[in-house]
A and B are shown apart, each in its own frame.
Chain A
């Protein structure tokens, strides 16, 4: 795994002018240990050797094999066209996320991959991004919704590249074999889940990583309380002790008996593989999750249906479709090169190159070539374009500290002990108040 320069700021340095000795090393280790107690002091030091002025460095969190190769192809295509070299530093996806705040304050790459929505706005507000409104003026083929997701305070900071919808995924052949029908409403969904459990292929559930269960929470909230409520809940404007939030957990509890056991010890990869092995019947996941775990010749067997309707007032009007894309760091050393790269990445052609290598996502640009889409990609595109509201994902729609330190544990607690909703929502609310009042 290639190390990104995000580790740069933490590298212990020898004292000025002294040759490196064992004692220096020990001192360096001590400094490293001190990093736990006071990491902020260290963010300022460390400087990467500067490369050619024409080079653009890209910090990538696309550490999974499929997207990594696809991105390499896209950057190679840009290099060929523009004549400048793109140097990619890939970091493991979760690790990149863990370190991003310090990464952006240290010596970040010129361009980095990140998420749209609240997660982008947070950094924009802190002044860690470079505004790219001038690049946006040249863009064609992006919808207004996408532009909104890329905008903070009237300025653009983000170039969307692809998205993928969350839905209920399953094997088409298993449904045909057993005579299962895709569920349109919550009652049908529960009935289907019950049948699957009886047939020995329960509903897949995984939350060891801490985030997969967020998708189910989001969807139940969106279907039960509507997009507007969900949005203000995420923004910290609604109380988590509200009757409507409790109801979300109550509805969710109806599904829990039909989950496979051991959800908290299972990664999303294992859940995807379980679906592939026909050990489970269906799973609420994002499109790349089962997609990347199925062998290539079985991918045509993946199918999905939209998360079922719970309240007819809202129907299935919202889709959870996280958008990934590119931003220019505030400390970028080659802003011109970075903007040039982003201008190219915002074209339909750039997305075509990427999608050829990654069939698990869908292009955001209207001008992208959809002729080469798989049936699944086509269905995904239709799902999103038919949606009245698009949400990102719980950990992208709210403050990162709230998602990280409160919600991960809260949802894991719920899966482990679903009966104590009262204590749960009170715990969340108390922590929410503390965090949201902190800024």
Chain B
């Protein structure tokens, strides 16, 4: 405030202050600033405490060796040793990275577009659309751990539904144990849930699209495909951002479903599982596990930041 007063003095004239700035100043009394400061400050402080604090602490711990027992004094600095060991010697690491990226691609290129397709179909008012909507959304209320459990009932080697139906007792397909197929089964099961989620988000977006836009496009002679691609889809941009970020996050934090099936081993390695195995498990390799966590953090940031920057830049250019 003092700055603005000074500026006014400097300029000499009384009417030089732009109206917007002036209104800003007038509507924020000293008390408002104090309230804002407290409200914002608390949030920022909490954000730092519960999000950035632990994240940075993890980064710090990733350069140490610690078994999680005893005080801070037992922590030993080992430099980049954990990372070197991770990349060179830890056999589960590269498969886990590969599986996580595959998971992002699978959800992003198959499950999410499929969810959009379902949303469009339901939105166009096919018969029983309410019914489809509920049925497709139903899996979303299930936790992924439950989905994993259901996958086991369906795909178990000896007692699973699918193998019982196939009836081939002597040469059963080991859906969840064969490391060539089990990841795909898991991604299918995860997609089953993800699709419903994406569908509901897009459905909400589609309901908000002004029908007049579509009518105008139709009057201009656009066919349905053109209407969707040129008119409807661009107006869905805010939903796209949300869906995109959710898809990436869902894929990178995938954990419970593979953990429920086989503790994330034997073809189902994911970075989240390796973190748990090393930190939370009996192993207690806090430093080494933190190094994996930092890698996951890095991968997540790359995806989310790239995506957001692109989407937001696109929005500005519009």
Q: Which of A49-57, A71-79, A398-406 contacts B (4 or more CB under 8 A)?
A: A398-406
Report yes or no: A266 in contact with B54, Cβ–Cβ below 8 A.
no
Q: Which residues of A contact B66 (CB under 8 A)?
A: 40
Report yes or no: A264 in contact with B277, Cβ–Cβ below 8 A.
no
**B266 interfacial contact with A, CB 8 Å:** yes
Interface size band for A: 35 or more
Q: Which residues of B contact A266 (CB under 8 A)?
A: 157-158, 177
Nearest A residue to B274 via CB reads A405
**Which 10 residue pairs across A and B have the least CB separation, nearest first?**
A265-B177, A262-B174, A401-B283, A264-B177, A38-B54, A430-B89, A265-B174, A34-B54, A404-B283, A400-B282
Count A-B contacts at CB 8 Å: 138
Interface residues in A391-416 by Cβ distance below 8 A to B read 400-401, 404-405, 408-410, 412-413, 416
Closest CB in chain A relative to B69 CB, distance in Å: 5
Q: Which residues of A contact B28 (CB under 8 A)?
A: none
Closest CB in chain A relative to B288 CB, distance in Å: 8
15 new A-B contacts, CB < 8 A, other than A30-B50, A39-B68, are A36-B279, A37-B58, A38-B58, A97-B282, A102-B280, A105-B69, A128-B69, A208-B176, A261-B171, A262-B178, A265-B174, A270-B158, A274-B158, A412-B265, A413-B91
Interface string of B285-308 (1 = CB under 8 A from A): 110001001000000000000000
**B281 interfacial contact with A, CB 8 Å:** yes
Report yes or no: A38 in contact with B172, Cβ–Cβ below 8 A.
no
Interface residues in B51-71 by Cβ distance below 8 A to A read 51, 54-55, 57-58, 61, 65-70
Subset of 26 A-B contacts with CB under 8 Å: A34-B54, A37-B54, A37-B55, A37-B290, A38-B61, A39-B280, A40-B68, A98-B280, A126-B70, A128-B69, A208-B177, A261-B171, A261-B172, A265-B262, A400-B284, A401-B67, A401-B278, A404-B277, A405-B281, A405-B285, A408-B265, A409-B91, A409-B266, A430-B88, A431-B89, A431-B91
**B263 interfacial contact with A, CB 8 Å:** yes
Closest CB in chain B relative to A316 CB, distance in Å: 31
Nearest B residue to A208 via CB reads B262
Q: Which residues of B contact A405 (CB under 8 A)?
A: 277-278, 281, 283, 285
Interface residues in B156-190 by Cβ distance below 8 A to A read 156-159, 170-172, 174-179, 182
Report yes or no: B280 in contact with A265, Cβ–Cβ below 8 A.
no
Q: Which residues of A contact B58 (CB under 8 A)?
A: 37-38
Closest CB in chain A relative to B42 CB, distance in Å: 10
Nearest B residue to A31 via CB reads B50
Nearest B residue to A433 via CB reads B89
Closest CB in chain B relative to A332 CB, distance in Å: 17
Closest CB in chain B relative to A145 CB, distance in Å: 25
Interface string of A261-286 (1 = CB under 8 A from B): 11111100010011000010000000
Q: Which residues of B contact A243 (CB under 8 A)?
A: none
Is chain A's interface secondary structure helix, strand, loop, or mixed overall?
A: helix
Q: Which residues of A contact B91 (CB under 8 A)?
A: 409-410, 413, 427, 431
Q: Which residues of A contact B77 (CB under 8 A)?
A: none
Report yes or no: A27 in contact with B50, Cβ–Cβ below 8 A.
yes
Report yes or no: B265 in contact with A409, Cβ–Cβ below 8 A.
yes
Interfacial residues, chain A to chain B (CB-CB below 8 A): 27, 30-31, 34, 36-41, 43, 97-102, 105, 126-128, 200, 208, 210, 261-266, 270, 273-274, 279, 400-401, 404-405, 408-410, 412-413, 416, 427, 430-431, 434-435, 438-439
Q: Which residues of B contact A98 (CB under 8 A)?
A: 280-282
Closest CB in chain A relative to B293 CB, distance in Å: 6
Nearest A residue to B283 via CB reads A401
Interfacial residues, chain B to chain A (CB-CB below 8 A): 46, 50-51, 54-55, 57-58, 61, 65-70, 85, 88-92, 156-159, 170-172, 174-179, 182, 262-263, 265-266, 272, 275-286, 290, 293
A126 to B66 CA separation, bound complex (whole angstroms) = 12
Q: Which residues of B contact A27 (CB under 8 A)?
A: 46, 50
Report yes or no: B157 in contact with A265, Cβ–Cβ below 8 A.
yes
A409 to B281 CA separation, bound complex (whole angstroms) = 15
Question: Which of B156, B159, B275, B284 has the most chain A CB atoms inside 10 A of its CB?
Answer: B284
Q: Which residues of B contact A427 (CB under 8 A)?
A: 89, 91
Question: Which of B46, B91, B156, B263 has the most chain A CB atoms inside 10 A of its CB?
Answer: B91
Question: Which of B61, B275, B278, B282 has the most chain A CB atoms inside 10 A of its CB?
Answer: B282
Nearest A residue to B179 via CB reads A416
Report yes or no: A263 in contact with B89, Cβ–Cβ below 8 A.
no
Closest CB in chain A relative to B146 CB, distance in Å: 15
Report yes or no: A101 in contact with B282, Cβ–Cβ below 8 A.
yes
A263 in contact with B277 given A27-B46, A36-B293 (CB within 8 Å): no
A226 to B29 CA separation, bound complex (whole angstroms) = 84
Report yes or no: A40 in contact with B286, Cβ–Cβ below 8 A.
yes
Q: Which one of B89, B90, B157 contacts A262 once the chains associate, using CB atoms below 8 Å?
A: B157
A404 in contact with B50 given A37-B58, A37-B293, A434-B89 (CB within 8 Å): no
A97 to B263 CA separation, bound complex (whole angstroms) = 13
Closest CB in chain A relative to B3 CB, distance in Å: 34
Q: Which residues of B contact A208 (CB under 8 A)?
A: 176-177, 262, 266
Closest CB in chain B relative to A307 CB, distance in Å: 25
Q: Which one of B263, B275, B280 contacts A210 once the chains associate, using CB atoms below 8 Å?
A: B263
